[in-house]
């Protein structure tokens, strides 16, 4: 049963600290997405990659967030320095693109981040 | 401004009845619309996709309609079961088919 995995599942950190979240997409999927979910804003797209290349990161605060795919089996989302307003659940999702489009997305279990 | 609206209040129905959830959008011209289910503490799970040129899509007890004139999608669960209780999210593409914009979701509670 292929699944997207994310680590850590929970992270509590102090303001100003660096946070790194990791995601392993489903083998064979070529598109990876990072989302953030809060009660107020719902589910928001932060960035996505196709064949490991960043295609869009317009939803991400550039000054403190960065996303990378060092290889096809690992995507990372880093926040440095973290702030209390970054507290949210961060989801990674993957999908397979047919042509230019990715349709159904498969989500991981999320990383619940709390910044104090 | 662009908006995706789903019933913000929880929908409570009796087991065996049909649940109908609504997704309305403003100032979008999506090529397709998707529905996801999310359980507490878990990531969304893909359920159905319907394209702009399709009126209706079915999968087992699920049915989705898409009216691009009304700018609305309806999601139906027939013969609902307590196990169907979850939050249901609609999502549509925004010019870029890879960029899904999600609604805030509707919480469905099916009472036994």
Rounded to whole angstroms, the Cα distance separating B67 from B110 reads: 26
Rounded to whole angstroms, the Cα distance separating B99 from B106 reads: 21
Per the structure block, which two tokens stand in for B27? 């100032």
* Cβ–Cβ under 8 Å, residues B99 and A56: yes
Residue A97's DSSP bridge partners are A102
pLDDT grade for B100, boundaries at 50, 70 and 90: confident
Name the B residues in 28-47 with CB < 8 Å from any A CB: 32, 34, 41-46
Mutate to test the interface with A, among B43, B44, B90, B99 (most CBs of A within 10 A): B43
The sign one gets for the Cα dihedral A6, A7, A13, A16 is negative
* Cβ–Cβ under 8 Å, residues B46 and B110: no
Domains of chain A, by residue range, sit at: 5-98
Residue B90's domain comprises 3-111
* Cβ–Cβ under 8 Å, residues A89 and A113: yes
Condensed to tens digits (0 to 9), the pLDDT of residues B42-93 reads 999 999 999 988 989 999 999 999 999 999 999 999 999 999 999 999 999 8
Identify the residue whose tokens are 């292929």.
A2
Mutate to test the interface with B, among A95, A103, A110 (most CBs of B within 10 A): A103
Q: Which CATH superfamily is domain A5-98 in?
A: Immunoglobulins (2.60.40.10)
Backbone angles phi, psi at A37, to 5 degrees: -125, 125
Total count of domains within chain B? 1
Per the structure block, which two tokens stand in for A74? 């690992």
Task: Select the residue of B34, B43, B100 nearest A109 (Cβ to Cβ).
Answer: B43
Q: How many CB atoms lie within 10 A of CB B14?
A: 10
- B95: domain CATH number is 2.60.40.10
Rounded to whole angstroms, the Cα distance separating B26 from B40 reads: 28
Condensed to tens digits (0 to 9), the pLDDT of residues A60-110 reads 988 999 999 999 999 999 999 999 999 999 999 999 887 666 678 999 999
């Amino acid at each position: 049963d292929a699944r997207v995995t994310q680590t850590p599942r929970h992270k509590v950190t102090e303001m100003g600290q660096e946070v790194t979240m990791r995601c392993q997409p489903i083998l064979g999927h070529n598109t990876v997405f990072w989302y953030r979910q809060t009660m107020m804003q719902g589910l928001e797209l932060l960035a996505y990659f196709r064949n490991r290349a960043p295609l869009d990161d317009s939803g991400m605060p550039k000054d403190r967030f960065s996303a990378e795919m060092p290889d096809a089996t690992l995507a990372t989302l880093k926040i440095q320095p973290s702030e209390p307003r970054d507290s949210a659940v961060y989801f990674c999702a993957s999908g397979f693109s047919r042509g230019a489009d990715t349709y159904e997305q498969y989500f991981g279990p999320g990383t619940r981040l709390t910044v104090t | 401004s662009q908006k995706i609206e789903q019933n913000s209040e929880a929908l409570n129905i009796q087991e065996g009845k049909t649940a109908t959830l609504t997704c309305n959008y403003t100032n979008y011209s999506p090529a397709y619309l998707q529905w996801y289910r999310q359980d507490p503490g878990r990531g969304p799970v893909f359920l159905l996709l319907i394209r702009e040129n399709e009126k209706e899509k079915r999968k087992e007890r699920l049915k989705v309609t898409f009216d691009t004139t009304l700018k609305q999608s309806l999601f139906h669960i027939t013969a609902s079961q307590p196990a169907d209780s979850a939050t249901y999210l609609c999502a549509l593409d925004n010019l870029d088919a890879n960029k899904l914009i999600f609604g805030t979701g509707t919480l469905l509670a099916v009472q036994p």
